Amino acid sequence: MNNIDWSKLGFSYIKTNTMVCSRYKEGRWSPVESCTDDRITLDSLSASLHYGVECFEGLKAFYGKDGKIRIFRPEENARRLIRSAAYLGIEAPSEEMFLGMVLRAVSENKDFIPPYGSRASLYIRPLLIGVGPQLGVKPSSETFFSVLVNPVGAYAGGIDDPARAVIAREYDRAAPHGSGSYKVGGNYAASLYAGMQAGKAGYQAVLYLDPKEHKYIDEFSSSNFFAVKGNTYITPYSETILPSITNKSLCQLAEYLGMKVERRAIPTEELASFDETGECGTAVVITPVSVIEDKPSIQAAPTVVYSYKNAGAPGTKSRKLYDKITGIQYGEEPDIFGWCTVY
């Protein structure tokens, strides 16, 4: 038993029972192990440390209304990790191995899954890194794969606490034709400086534009962008953003709820015509964005301020989508698309 106050969970580190891991070397994965120590020993010349040969995933498990555990769309994360690893040229676990290790990590840490009703969840962090000593800039022939879990509450404000966002005109998180659509650590390192500047200036979110022309909306540093206009759900189509599993699910739910869905390039000026905007992703779920400021630099005075009528609360369509997706995750709503792994 642990003595966590579930109502006070944020998004910080909590040590759990075990981390589940395996190592790929000389053409084979080692038997999967559960370690009580979540520190790892690495060669100091590991390519993950020097050259960013690293990718990861983020998904969640929930205690449902019926007392069962639900993991949300884990096979999607397995496929995305395999795609990121292929980009880095390293060996990834198969989908089956990924799912087995995720399930094992959740089972061994059941006592860290927040109880139903707390609106919190168990965040699952699969990590794949290039290990083994090497000096040259090349993919690693050895990899280490681990699955660690951490109970979490809201990532930032949450559904009832809309964010203020700034458009990052002087920074890009990804290059045209670069790594933006892969879940690799370098993209996050590239977003930290702008994030720090924005935090100092009082913003909770940084909105990146397409890195080629700086005309179209790309995404936030750790979530996708969506907007609602009348009965239409609109989200960017871009080669430089992470294909969010939450966003993909929200598109399906929006259609199911009778909304029109558009996935297309969104010029910044169109921000003026939206009724609701928000961030979406595993960690943020849906966090409404009440104000978006466009300025030449994060420190400058805003050139244009876009504000949304539901400032201070989620818009009605955002709320409806949030209730639907969390309803499925907590087993309160029928899982119409068969998204959850239940046990």
Ligand X SMILES: Cc1ncc(COP(=O)(O)O)c(C=O)c1O
User: Can you give the binding site for ligand X, defined by CB under 6 A?
Assistant: 58, 219, 222-224, 242, 244-247, 281-282
Question: What's the chain's length in residues?
Answer: 343
User: Smallest distance, Å, CB 120 to ligand X?
Assistant: 17
DSSP string, 4-33: --GGG--S-----S-EEEEEEETTEEPPPE
User: Smallest distance, Å, CB 284 to ligand X?
Assistant: 8
User: Smallest distance, Å, CB 279 to ligand X?
Assistant: 8
**Closer residue to ligand X in complex, CB, 74/162:** 74
**Closer residue to ligand X in complex, CB, 119/248:** 248
User: Smallest distance, Å, CB 323 to ligand X?
Assistant: 17
**Closer residue to ligand X in complex, CB, 131/149:** 149
H or E stretch covering 219 = strand 217-220
User: Smallest distance, Å, CB 46 to ligand X?
Assistant: 23
User: Smallest distance, Å, CB 58 to ligand X?
Assistant: 5
**Closer residue to ligand X in complex, CB, 32/82:** 82
Residues 6+ apart with CB under 8 A from 261: 232, 233, 234, 235, 251, 254, 255
Phi, psi of 206 (to 5 degrees): -115, 125
Tell me how far the alpha carbon of residue 90 is from its chain's centroid.
22
Q: Which amino acid is at 321?
A: L
> What is the CA angle 160-3-156, rounded to 5?
25
**Closer residue to ligand X in complex, CB, 93/132:** 93
Question: Which residue is associated with the tokens 């068969």?
Answer: 338
Do 163 and 34 contact (CB within 8 A), yes or no? no
> What is the CA angle 236-240-241, rounded to 5?
55
**Closer residue to ligand X in complex, CB, 46/146:** 146
| Residue number with the smallest Cβ distance to ligand X | 281
